[in-house]
A = this chain, B = another copy of it.
Amino acid sequence: MRPVAVIGAGKTAFGAFPELDLRALAVQAGEKCLRTSRVEAGLIESFYLGNFAGPSFVGQNHLAPYISMALGVKGVPATRIEAACASSGSAFYHAWTEVASGLYDLVMVVGVEKMTSQPTARVTEILASAGDLSGEIRAGSTFASLFAMIARRHMYEFGTKKEHLAAVAVKNHAAGALNPDAHMRKNVTLEQALAGKPIAEPLNLYDCSLISDGAAAVILAPLDRASEFTDKPVRVLGIAQASDYVALDQKEDITTFPAVRRASQKAYRMAGVGPDEIEFAELHDCFTIAEIIATEDLGFVKRGCGGPYAMEGHTSLDGQRPINASGGLKAKGHPVGATGVAQICDLVQQIRGEAGPRQVARHSVGLAQNLGGSGATCVVSILGAT
């Protein structure tokens, strides 16, 4: 496998955009991405689309050519990948395999989701289709209630407290407030975060990520050709995708996600780095507890120590290892199918030193962790300066 670089990256703002349909969002991100590189659409040799539930949210399926053709990426393989909330992380992984293997030189990945056109109750129902319909969902679970069970068990096993969850929310809101493209740009205090409207005990409104519209796009190329297309290539140091049971009740232990451990170990090996060398990260904080567990599964801290780790400020913008300097899914927003590629865009921006007031101090090696469902899919990507 040959070294691969991200040579272009572009995102829409995340939020509620009634005036933009799914295709318009995707095209906006794609065109922005093309403009950030010296690549014409006609040069792209393969196209991936990450999308979770376009058919359910807006009625449109067969989305890859639907979007690639509108972007001027014509005739080439155009493939939609669906892996719940890890859809575009997985699309990015597959684009990487094509470039790394030498099959293609220029591969584009777009992630998109248009969620706000549906009422919240219907959104909750659509999201639940990423769980196991034959069991947990039929029994009435939603993703908030699944992660509430995870949080409760984590509290029971390790003494994690609501304050720890709230600390993640406070931190991510603080970063989001500095991000012009974030869905929610407001600071919250620990007191406010603790007093949010209950959603599924122990999770309240501030523990839950946002229902957003948005899209993100990147272009990959072989590292040795990257300088033709950009002055600031960012290298893919390691990447892996892994899987696990969809149903929570099939897992042996719900306080850890084997797919995250597996994907990260593989990605670390490929990158030749360990968790200690990850300077900053974008983690999948669909719920605050998910970020806490991710810091454990990725080896940033020992199992059970993720809560205090966040509470003590180590993962804040000015901490030793900033996590979700973008605002995360919590404040930046979580247009499901866009999230994986958006995380890559956020890493690229930081590595290039272009994150403005959110710029982290050490930014030569960053990690993105994109989770599908309650851990049945995970993609971990490690990016670095060239």
Query: Which A residues are within 8 Å of any B CB, using their own CB?
Result: 1, 21, 23, 47, 52-53, 55-56, 58-66, 68-69, 74-84, 90, 93-94, 97-98, 100-103, 126, 129-134, 240-246, 250, 258-259, 262, 372-373, 376-377
Distance in angstroms between the alpha carbons of A30 and B287 in the assembled complex: 35
Q: Which residues of B contact A61 (CB under 8 A)?
A: 52-53, 56, 82, 84, 129-130
The answer to whether residues A60 and B90 also contact, given A80-B82, A82-B82, A97-B101 and a CB cut-off of 8 A, is: no
Q: Which residues of B contact A75 (CB under 8 A)?
A: 242-244, 258-259, 262
The answer to whether residues A97 and B90 also contact, given A61-B129, A246-B69 and a CB cut-off of 8 A, is: no
Q: Would you give the shortest CB distance from A3 to chain B, in whole angstroms?
A: 15
26 residue pairs A–B, Cβ–Cβ below 8 Å: A1-B101, A53-B55, A55-B129, A56-B56, A59-B129, A60-B133, A62-B83, A62-B129, A62-B130, A63-B82, A64-B243, A65-B244, A65-B245, A65-B376, A66-B132, A69-B243, A69-B250, A69-B376, A75-B243, A75-B259, A76-B242, A77-B242, A78-B83, A79-B241, A81-B81, A100-B103
Secondary structure type dominating chain A contacts: mixed
Q: Would you give the shortest CB distance from A257 to chain B, in whole angstroms?
A: 12
Q: Is the CB of A58 within 8 A of B133?
A: yes
Can you tell how many copies of this chain the complex includes? 2
**A377 CB contact (under 8 Å) in B62, B74, B98, B102:** B62
Distance in angstroms between the alpha carbons of A130 and B65 in the assembled complex: 10
Q: Is the CB of B21 within 8 A of A243?
A: no
**A372 CB contact (under 8 Å) in B23, B62, B242, B262:** B62
Distance in angstroms between the alpha carbons of A60 and B136 in the assembled complex: 12
Distance in angstroms between the alpha carbons of A249 and B19 in the assembled complex: 24
Knowing that A56-B61, A65-B245, A80-B82 touch, tell me 8 more A-B residue pairs with CB under 8 angstroms: A47-B243, A52-B61, A62-B377, A64-B82, A75-B258, A78-B83, A78-B243, A78-B377
Q: Would you give the shortest CB distance from A378 to chain B, in whole angstroms?
A: 10
